[in-house]
């Protein structure tokens, strides 16, 4: 974890040009984040230690190479790499990846993925080839698990108390992950505001405080399982978000997660 400040603003551009590039994120003044960086490495388990690597050795690389650069620093002003580049999460990911590799991880492991969370509802991931960004949304909705073509007895057997005729509700958490080519000017895959607009229009505003069985025609005659809901959300977003939709993850409860991914 580290706290840093940054801004989306080019001094050589006018205020109107900066606003056009960065939407409401554009400001000549810094704002800050409590970043959370997850680093994933892979390797063979040593028969001597029972470990892939001593995690202290990985920590030492991160703390010695990254923390002095980022902790309590202004990214635009104090890291030369970002003097002429935006400190977008996409640009930060590739920079962090290179810094970790150049710092030389223990020889027995390979860096496979990093994840950088800017704030709880927005994070990015990078595996050395593909960059993705993920935005998180919430909505509350009700449903009854019931297959109309099956008997009441069979439905009760399948779904138990979730077959209650009065239904029940969830506070759903939706993660939407997109990828794409980085814009040279912004250093971003796409505008997060544009992603928000698409997801709110197609999913959040449509589903929030609704009953899947009664209020939404796309579920007529279908069992409103989270698998079906997740598939429907993916289908609604795949051609509407302003980038390539990689996956959606639908959290029904803290214990139940449903994922739909793009077919490679």
Distance CA 237, CA 177 (A): 11
Q: Which residue among 31, 102, 157, 209 is the active-site one?
A: 209
Q: Which residue among 175, 197, 252, 259 is the active-site one?
A: 252
- Write the CB contacts of 182 (distance below 8 Å, at least 6 apart in sequence): 90, 91, 131, 188, 189
Q: Which residue among 162, 170, 202, 259 is the active-site one?
A: 162
Distance CA 54, CA 35 (A): 24
Distance CA 244, CA 238 (A): 7
Task: Verify whether residue 252 is a known catalytic residue.
Answer: yes
Q: Is residue 150 within 8 Å of 223, Cβ to Cβ?
A: no
Residue keyed to tokens 């005729």 = 165
| Chain centroid, CA 65 distance in Å | 25
Task: Verify whether residue 162 is a known catalytic residue.
Answer: yes
In the chain the first and final C-alpha atoms are separated, in Å, by: 33
Active site residues: 162, 209, 252
């Amino acid at each position: 974890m580290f706290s840093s400040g940054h801004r989306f603003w080019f001094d050589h551009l006018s205020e109107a040009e900066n606003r056009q590039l960065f939407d409401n994120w554009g400001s000549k003044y810094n704002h800050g984040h409590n970043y959370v960086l997850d680093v994933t490495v892979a390797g063979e388990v040593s028969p001597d230690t029972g470990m892939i690597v001593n995690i202290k050795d990985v920590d030492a690389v991160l703390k010695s190479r990254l923390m002095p650069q980022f902790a309590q620093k202004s990214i635009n002003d104090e890291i030369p790499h970002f003097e002429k580049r935006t400190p977008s999460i996409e640009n930060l990911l590739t920079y962090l990846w290179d810094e970790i590799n150049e710092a030389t991880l223990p020889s027995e492991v390979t860096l496979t993925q990093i994840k950088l969370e800017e704030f709880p509802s927005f994070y990015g991931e990078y595996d050395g080839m593909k960059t993705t960004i993920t935005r998180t949304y919430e909505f509350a909705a009700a449903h009854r698990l019931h297959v109309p073509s099956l008997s009441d007895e069979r439905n009760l057997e399948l779904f138990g108390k979730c077959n209650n005729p009065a239904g029940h509700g969830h506070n759903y958490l939706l993660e939407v992950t997109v990828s794409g080519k980085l814009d040279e000017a912004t250093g971003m895959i796409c505008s997060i505001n544009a992603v928000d607009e698409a997801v709110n229009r197609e999913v959040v505003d449509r589903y929030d405080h609704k009953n899947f069985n009664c209020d939404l025609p796309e579920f007529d005659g279908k069992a409103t399982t989270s698998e079906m809901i997740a598939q429907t959300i993916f289908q609604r977003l795949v051609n509407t978000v302003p980038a390539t939709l990689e996956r959606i993850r639908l959290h029904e409860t803290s214990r139940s997660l449903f994922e739909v991914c793009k077919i490679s």
